[in-house]
Every structure is written in structure tokens, then in C-alpha cells.
Structure 1
Amino acid sequence: MKKLITLFLLLIMPLGVYASEGMKLQEADIDLSDSASLQRGAKHFVTYCLGCHSIKHIRYLRIALDLGVDEKKVLKDIAPEGAGIYDQMHTAMNAHDAEKWFGIQPPDLSLVSRSRGADWLYSYLKGFYTDKTKVLGTNNAVFPDVGMPNVFWQLQGEQKPLYKKVDGKQVIDKLVIEELGTMTEAEFDRVVNDLVNFLVYVGEPVQLERQRMGKYVIFFIFMFVGIAYLLKREYWRDIH
């Protein structure tokens, strides 16, 4: 019985609460009804991420329709130069160059929000710090030894880790700004949050529609249960 209870608790506990030993994940403010945030997030993805990563499961047309934005505006303000409205969000980097520069082709990020979670993504994108022992000069508190450069270093600035001891081991307690970037902390937080908001939308574009439909489905189930109960009483009346 104790084993079953333990297994149940493990299943219902939220995954990825801690970025690493000692560091707690920061909470992303996800609002898929905020069209302006999603548009900014899409633009940030194209500007900072599309050079290496694709989102092949969505097209610019779908973004325009879902966010209620004119197609020409999407091509002008979000899509890279030369992209068509029916194009998928493919990176311009070919697999050969990616493996040459990074040792592996950067993954497609269509479903990264569903596999990792919004809080993990938010903390990861804010978790880069200077590490001169690494080839790229940076490391990450959430994903140690990740083979990705800090593409936001100019905006965020450069961070350094502060350590503490846990069970006799040195672990990162928190990150602090060592050299200021072009943005304030609040401005950079909004950039990252908008980007994560967009990636959550990409992971399930029909999420808001599904939630709206869910209300009607639940209402139908309650109605059906009520009718079934009244029908059951009518059938059993003659038996009693």
C-alpha cells in the first residue's frame, strides 16, 4: 500500500520544480489570450532563435489567423525577409553547418514547451552565465554544459553564479548581473516571457479553442447525467 501511495505522489508532483540543485525554477506568466504578447514573442523568435532552430509545425498563415493579425503585417513585422505567408518556420541553417559549428543539429522547437514546460523554458533562457572554461564562453544553470550560446547577452548583460554548499557539494544558488546589458531586468523579463508565451502557443495552437469547447462538453455531460438519473428512477419505479 505504501508503495502505491509513493508512486501516486511521484506521478502528481510537478516535474522540473528545480532547475538544478539549489536553484528553483522561475515562474512564467503565460497568457495565450494576449495577442500582443504572442506577436512580440513570434518576432523575438524570428530575430534570436530562427537562425538555428525551426518551428516546422506551424505556418505564418496560422499565426495570422490565430492572433487576428493581417497577413501583410505578419510578413512585414514578424516573418524574415523573403518568407511567404504559407511557409513553415524553417531555419536557414543547414544540417551540415549546424553539426560543424555545434556538434549536433539544433532541435526543432515546435513541442519544446510541452516536453519541458513553460517555467523550465523561462528559467533556462534567463539562466546563462559566463564560464570561460567552455568553448562558447557561457554555461547554463538550468541545463549545465548545454551547447548553445547566450543569444540574449547584449540585452540581458553578463551574469555570474553565486554558489552554496548542498550535501558537501558546491551548487549554484543564484545568478547576478556582472555586466549590464541594453535592457533593464524588467524589460528583459518581458522579452523572455513573450518568447515563452509564443512557444507555449506553438506547442498547442488550439489550446484556447479546446478550453472554450471544454465548457460546453462539461455542461453536456452534466445534462446527460441528470437525464440518465431521471430515466433510471423512472425504470426502477415499477420494480419497487
Structure 2
Amino acid sequence: MGTSANITLLGVTMDSRLNFLVLMLVISFACANAKSLASLDVFGELFFVQVDNEIQSESHIVRNEKLCTLCKEFASQALYYLGENVTQTQVTDILHKACSKLHSLEQQCITLVDYYAPLFFLEVSKTSPEEFCDKVNLCDSNAQVSLPKHDNACTLCQDILGEVLSKLQDPDTELEVIEILLKGCNKMENFVQKCKKLVFQYGPLILANAEKLLEKTDLCTSIHACKTSQQVAETILASA
């Protein structure tokens, strides 16, 4: 990779990796059904959020080879994080707490979590960064992704979040998510009807909360794409 895209992976904390993972998964979902290069722009931009300060490109065309390499590095970090036992326990605990809010369906929810969470982590352990990046079409040798010019990583990150929020506010997106979840319920054998009931009852609420989370949480600062208010103040004082 060139000096214009030096990836700052060393020293990344577990919390920032988790925030990045959340952002990556949200963007993956937002672009899951996209087929045009324009829609790939949003996903491709994600992998430049943690580059050093400025992204320089005379033609503003980022070849897929560079995106593929960046995708593999970030995917490797995310998959490693999900593979850690501590992480798996934390995820399961969060799901159990969510089940406690379902009142009469709490026990059925916990049963589903205990059964499917290990299967999910097993599938994750079988997935390689190469496979993931192939599935999201970032390692297609014939592909090129056009990226708009951005002054810095912070502006880029904020633009990406704006795109994601726009997707979440689209009623068509909500319907697509509900449809996917309902299809997933068909694989749950004895819990099909209960699963579908949960989807209809809580699906829209979960999506609304996801939108509020992105609006209230400064993810761009959390993943160090943007400076904190303290860092901005220090920069101003230093230049005074």
C-alpha cells in the first residue's frame, strides 16, 4: 500500500474495534442488495475511515486491488474479535438481557439465543477475510470503485453515516429487513410461529432504535476518524 493510505491498526483498543465492527456490519447491510457501482461507493468508503488524516488521489479512482487489501485487513480484525471467547460471552449476555424485555416470551427467546448463538459463532470461525471480501464484491479483479474527493477521514466518516441513516429511514429498507428475518424464522423448526411473532412485534422497534443509536452516538469519534472536542481544543491552542 502507498504512503497515502497508511492504516493505523496498531494500538486499536477493543472498544474501538467493536465500534468499527458495528459500523462495518451496518454499512454491509445497507448495501447488501445494491448492484450498481454507485451503491458500492458507500461501502467502499468505509475502509478509508481509519487512514491517516488525508486520502490523496489525483483521479479519485480507487482500484479494487487496494480496496480488497484494506477489506481483508479490517475483516481480519473484526473476525478475530468475534472469535474471542470474552466477546462471545458479552454478545450472548446482551441478547439474554434483550430477551428479558419480551415478558411472556422471555424463556423462548433465551432458548433461541442459547441454541443459535453458538452456531453463529461457529459459522464466523469458518469464515475467512478473503471469503467475506469476495461476498461483498470488493475483491473482484474486474471492479473499480469511484470515490468522491474528501478533505479528511472525519468528513468521509460523517458522510457514510449520513448515507446509512438515509437507508434506515427508508420504509422500503425496513420491509426488506423484516422479510429477511421472517425467512430466517422458517429455519427455526418448532419456533417458527413464535419467531415470526417476535419479528412483527419488535422488528420495527429494533430498526428505530438502531437509527436513534447512530444519531446519538458519535461513532466517527469512537473509531478515531474524527477528533474529540478536547483534541480539537488542544489543536486550536497549539496553533494560537
TM over 0.5: no
Bigger share in strand: 1
Compare CA radii of gyration and give the structure with the larger one: 1
